[in-house]
Amino acid sequence: MKYNKLYIFVEGNDDELFFRKIILPLFLKHYSDVEIFKYAQWKHQKVELFLQSIITLDYDYIFTADIDMLDSVKGKKQVIRHKFGNLDNNKIAIVIKEIESWYLAGCTNEMSSILNIRVPSTTNDITKEDFNAICHQTYRSRIDFMFELLKVFNYSTAEERNDSFRFFLDIFNLEYDNKDKDKK
């Protein structure tokens, strides 16, 4: 089998945690190795050099970012490509609105009752502030809340509740079994 490697570029700690626990196991079915790289804390030039080395070595990459307050995925991709010139537009994945929306998306109605929280039927418009408001209804610690959501994460529920999560799985041909997250 040919050695193939994937680098997933994420913005920060919350993104890294989500991708490590929920997304990485799905990619390990297709790649020999998958590494997650937090780029927000690095200088642009270092990120660009790292990207160039990945391209030179013929490895794959995915560059993720939250859409934040921009109006369109196309607009956010243009901002990112302007900042990091080496990026292939097809390898940029935009999370709508923010990664916290994906955390909540995977919480089934049954689990939301057990966790004593209200999760909206769609999480497409969830921001960090919305997430924190939901979190602090029951939990003191945001990170504890995130870990609880990851423990009960359900892929099919997440696909139903968040369009960008579903699109991410579709565009990268990722298939899941709701037990996948238990492998890591």
Q: Using one digit for the tens of pLDDT, what is the confidence trace for 148-167?
A: 999 999 999 999 999 999 99
Say whether pLDDT at 174 is over 60. Answer: yes
Residues with Cβ < 8 Å from 133, sequence gap 6 or more? none
pLDDT at 181: 56
Contact yes or no for 4/60 (Cβ under 8 A): yes
Residue corresponding to tokens 């010139």: 85
For residue 153, give the nearest of 22, 26, 10 by alpha carbon: 22
How would you classify the pairing of strands 33-38 and 60-66? unpaired
Q: Using one digit for the tens of pLDDT, what is the confidence trace for 75-110?
A: 999 999 999 987 999 999 999 999 999 999 999 999
- Cα–Cα distance, 93 to 84 (Å, whole number): 14
pLDDT at 39: 97
